[in-house]
Structure 1
Amino acid sequence: MSHEVFDRVAEYYDAARPGYPDGVYDAVAALCAMSLDGAVVVDVGAGTGIATRGLLARGARVTAIDPGQRMLARLMAHSASPGVVVGDGNALPLRSGVADLVCYAQSWHWLRPADSIGEAVRVLRPGGVVAAWWNTVDLGATPDDAQGTGPDWLVAFERRLAASCPAYWGPALPQWRVPQVAKAMGEAGLDVQEAWIHWVRQVSVDDMMLDLRSHSFVAALGEEAAAEVLRRERGELRKAAPDGELEVPMRVYLAMARTARDADG
């Protein structure tokens, strides 16, 4: 199960996964037609609290839900006053009509599409917003986003991972697409908006390796094979960045929809 995989690598996830640019929170707030300050937010699949902290910093009142107890322990160690619940995004342990925003940061693809969106709609107040987003490296134009700008070293890095890790799913694969959350929202009767937010991550080679160690496709290799991939990639990235510092073009895919304001829609 996904939470068992991530619980095994919780310390790496906590140490080195990137945050999200301001544009993500700005876009969600704009659709909510309200400030996140004071908003009641449910962060589903909150993990170690990357999005939770971003929401708290903007004044939101956050309940973080995740099935992984070790992941949530990391969240509680670093986050100021969120509500924390061990739970399943397919059956949220919350009353109906209690939230202004239900969000999934880097997590919705682990859930059942119809069940999870149905649960999000159930716990939202009339006019509430459901949003899902994912960070990914920017390798260049895709069918989903025509503005990519990936450098050669990053393209090579992802292609090596695709060749070495059978569970790899990412932009180095020609068949890769963003998770189909917009389709699931549409099938639930919601009017969906989509956006790409581009940004640049400044990160050391060492932290890039910690980040890589946190990914499920590396964790699935087992310790010996994962260690070999990390050793190789550390050497390759040092060639690309002799000073040990990387500029990684990134992009966030964001899908969001507002529920009807009242029973009449």
Structure 2
Amino acid sequence: MSERITGGHRVFNRVAEEYDAARPHYPETLYQALEELSGVRLKGALVLDVGAGTGIATRGLLDRGARVVALDRGERMLAVLRGRTALDLQCRAVLGDGNALPFRDGVADLVVYAQAWHWLDRRASIAEAVRVLRPGGAVAGWWNIEDADKADWLAALEVRLAEACPAYVGPALPGWSMPPIAEAMAEAGLLVAQTWVEWTRSVSLEGFLTHLRSLSYVAALDDRAVAELLARERAELVRVFPDGRLTVPMRVYLATGRKGPEG
């Protein structure tokens, strides 16, 4: 489920707790693919997590030995991140804009956008990422999405979301595709690699409904419309999963762009 509406940080500030509680994590195989494609070993690397939100990817990177600076425009999102993440010499949280990074040239081994790059300016964001990278460093962007091609109930859900949410962008729309970060990296002169990582999520019905509540195009609705949407989805999903436990086929799109050794 892609998300592209204006003022995303303001929308997400309204649902920061729901976002942190119910958004899916990233599987171990994603971090393995990140190291392989980027050429950057996470242990000991300085990673700038741009659009860090409540820190889902930040904590995943920290768990694998990276030093992380988490940056986001959403004050409430960062407040949740600070409450959930140990901030010390290994991790700092910074309020800032991914189109104008508040960092010196050549300081980072890796700049990542986890579920975030589509909110930024295509050229300015990548130019800034390249600026702050050390020679041989890399840019990476990834998106966790439900794999509607593998489950009829997910495909039907996407259609209902498209009908209920004016700001919806996702696989129920003709011509939908992943954000063009690979093309933007190539335009900036980076060596690009791409892959998909498949995994399966197990989540409670309540957790999945909270996840829906955290989607930008749902959060943009008024309170009455959100309540009606969630009530409808509860009724639909309980018919498919009467035990209240959902099995959700997932896949992660990952693109990386390496900076040359000469910078």
Q: Which band: TM-score by shorter chain?
A: over 0.9
- Residue 62 of structure 1 is aligned with which of 57, 68, 71? 68
- Residue 22 of structure 1 is aligned with which of 22, 28, 33? 28
- 1 CA distance for matches of 2:215 and 2:167? 10
Q: Does residue 145 of structure 2 align to residue 136 of structure 1?
A: yes
**Deviation readout 1:185-233 (Å, 9 max, x if unpaired):** 1111112111010100000110001000001110111111111000100
Q: Does residue 249 of structure 2 align to residue 249 of structure 1?
A: yes
**How far apart are residue 104 of structure 1 and its match?**
0.1
Q: Of the two structures, which has the highest relative contact order with CA contacts closer than 8 Å and spacing of 6 or more?
A: 2
**What TM-score do you get using the length of structure 2 for normalisation?**
0.95
Q: Does residue 164 of structure 2 align to residue 164 of structure 1?
A: yes
Asked whether the 8 Å contact 1:38–1:59 carries over to 2, the reply is yes
Structure 1: which amino acid aligns with 2:230?
Answer: L
Structure 2: which amino acid aligns with 1:126?
Answer: P
Q: Does residue 208 of structure 2 align to residue 199 of structure 1?
A: no
Asked whether the 8 Å contact 1:56–1:80 carries over to 2, the reply is no
**How far apart are residue 34 of structure 1 and its match?**
4.3
Partner of 1:147 in structure 2?
none
Number of residue-to-residue matches in the alignment = 254
Q: Does residue 255 of structure 2 align to residue 261 of structure 1?
A: no
Partner of 1:71 in structure 2?
77
- 2 CA distance for matches of 1:231 and 1:48? 26
Other structure's SS at 2:221 match: coil
Structure 2: which amino acid aligns with 1:103?
Answer: V
Partner of 1:216 in structure 2?
216
Other structure's SS at 1:161 match: helix
Partner of 2:232 in structure 1?
232
- 1 CA distance for matches of 2:46 and 2:32? 16
Q: Does residue 42 of structure 2 align to residue 33 of structure 1?
A: no
- 2 CA distance for matches of 1:25 and 1:172? 29
**How far apart are residue 31 of structure 1 and its match?**
3.0
- 2 CA distance for matches of 1:34 and 1:7? 32
Structure 2: which amino acid aligns with 1:160?
Answer: R
* Unmatched segments (≥5 aa) in structure 1: 141-149
Asked whether the 8 Å contact 2:38–2:139 carries over to 1, the reply is no
Partner of 2:127 in structure 1?
118
Partner of 1:146 in structure 2?
none
**Deviation readout 1:107-157 (Å, 9 max, x if unpaired):** 0000001000000000000000100000111012xxxxxxxxx21111111
**Deviation readout 1:226-257 (Å, 9 max, x if unpaired):** 11000100111001000000000011111101
Change in 2 beyond 3 A, CA 1:33/1:186: closer
Partner of 1:48 in structure 2?
54
Asked whether the 8 Å contact 1:41–1:99 carries over to 2, the reply is yes
Other structure's SS at 2:148 match: coil
Partner of 1:5 in structure 2?
11
Asked whether the 8 Å contact 1:31–1:129 carries over to 2, the reply is no
- 2 CA distance for matches of 1:172 and 1:250? 16
- 2 CA distance for matches of 1:38 and 1:48? 22
* Unmatched segments (≥5 aa) in structure 2: 1-6
Other structure's SS at 2:106 match: coil
- 2 CA distance for matches of 1:35 and 1:182? 21
What stretches of structure 1 move > 2 A for 4+ residues in a row?
A: 31-35
Other structure's SS at 2:253 match: strand
Partner of 1:109 in structure 2?
118
**What TM-score do you get using the length of structure 1 for normalisation?**
0.94
- 1 CA distance for matches of 2:248 and 2:174? 21
Partner of 1:143 in structure 2?
none
- 2 CA distance for matches of 1:87 and 1:224? 32
Partner of 2:99 in structure 1?
90
Asked whether the 8 Å contact 2:40–2:137 carries over to 1, the reply is no
Report % sequence identity.
Answer: 60
Asked whether the 8 Å contact 1:196–1:253 carries over to 2, the reply is yes
